[in-house]
Amino acid sequence: MRRKTHGSPGNSTVSGTFRGKAEVGAIWMKLAEKSTTTTPERFLGDDDVVVVLTRVAAGGESADEADVLTFRDGKVVKFQSAADTAMLERVFGTK
């Protein structure tokens, strides 16, 4: 069985690769600390892969983002983000 992963580029405290329910849950909790919201604007799908173009807001800033979700058996098994890394560093700090 493949474990769930979440990946986000950059050098912020919310960047990196996170595997398994505990690590993925912890990073989502960290995002919630800054009242992070996402507003999906467009969905593009190809088989088990969906790209979501979205607007992200956190800590008083906002930016465009592209999220790539890979599904297996109806469940997300991989989540990757192409985000504004400079904004993430300003809002969440650097590692």
CATH of the domain at 16: 3.10.450.50
Domain that holds residue 83: 5-92
Tally of domains within the chain: 1
Q: Is the dihedral of CA 26, 30, 11, 70 positive or negative?
A: positive
pLDDT of 17 over the 90 cut: no
Burial of 22 per CB tally in 10 Å (0-12, 13-18, 19+) = exposed
pTM for the full predicted model: 0.80
pLDDT score for 85: 93
Which of the four pLDDT bands, split at 50, 70 and 90, describes residue 18? confident
Q: Tell me the per-residue pLDDT of 25-73, one tens digit each, with 9 for 90 and over.
A: 898 899 999 999 999 999 999 999 999 999 999 999 999 999 999 999 9
Which of the four pLDDT bands, split at 50, 70 and 90, describes residue 4? low
